[in-house]
Amino acid sequence: MFEDIRNEVREVVFYLAEKANLQPGAVVVLGCSTSEVAGGRIGKNSVPELGDALAEAMISACREKGLHPVFQCCEHLNRALVMEQSLLNRLGLIQVNAMPVPKAGGSTGAAAYQRFEKPALALAIQADAAIDIGDTLVGMHIRPVAVPLRMEGKEAKVGQAHVVMAYSRLPFIGGERTQYPQK
């Protein structure tokens, strides 16, 4: 039933990885509203089974690309982030004490928490890139400078939800005499 949605998530992750030139080890945050994916209004019709399919697809696609998946919770958990404990420790993030559930954390975040080997919640992160499915305002979790990314040739959607992507680039500093390496 959710195979199309899994494929759409995989397509979005792969597109972002390619266009943003994400290297293995990069961190990608997913903000996701299952209500929006199912065609409803954000925060009104949470679908736990859909959240599990979305979490599974994100984790699988990120692993294929060597990326670290992170999941933004909803505002009821102050947009805390679900990730593997090892990633939280490696990045030196502030851990918070909560466990997401569909009505307090979101269906996708709750499912990711159940799917991770050793799940943990961080207060905040500055990730390399982010995917926002359903206009969940995930931009606060991208390190400066955020570069918006749209899919070429079509509007990016997962289910019925609008998808926005962004990645970070190094800030340019200096004035008119500054020189930058070629990339």
Residue 2's identity, in one-letter code, is: F
Residue ranges per domain, the chain? Answer: 3-168
Question: Given phi > 0 = left and psi -120 to 50 = alpha, else beta, which region is 174?
Answer: left
Greater model confidence, 179 or 22: 22
CATH topology of domain 3-168: Rossmann fold (3.40.50)
pLDDT band at 147 (very low <50, low <70, confident <90, very high): very high
- Percentages helix, strand, coil for the chain, rounded to the nearest 5? 35, 25, 40
For residue 176, pLDDT beyond 80: no
pLDDT at 44: 79
> For residue 114, is pLDDT > 70?
yes
In contact, 171 and 107? CB cutoff 8 Å: no
The Cα angle at residue 167 between residues 34 and 171, in degrees rounded to 5: 145
pLDDT of residue 52: 96
Mean pLDDT, range 140-147, rounded to an integer: 93
Q: For residue range 50-87, list pLDDT tens digits in order.
A: 999 999 999 999 999 999 999 999 988 999 999 999 99
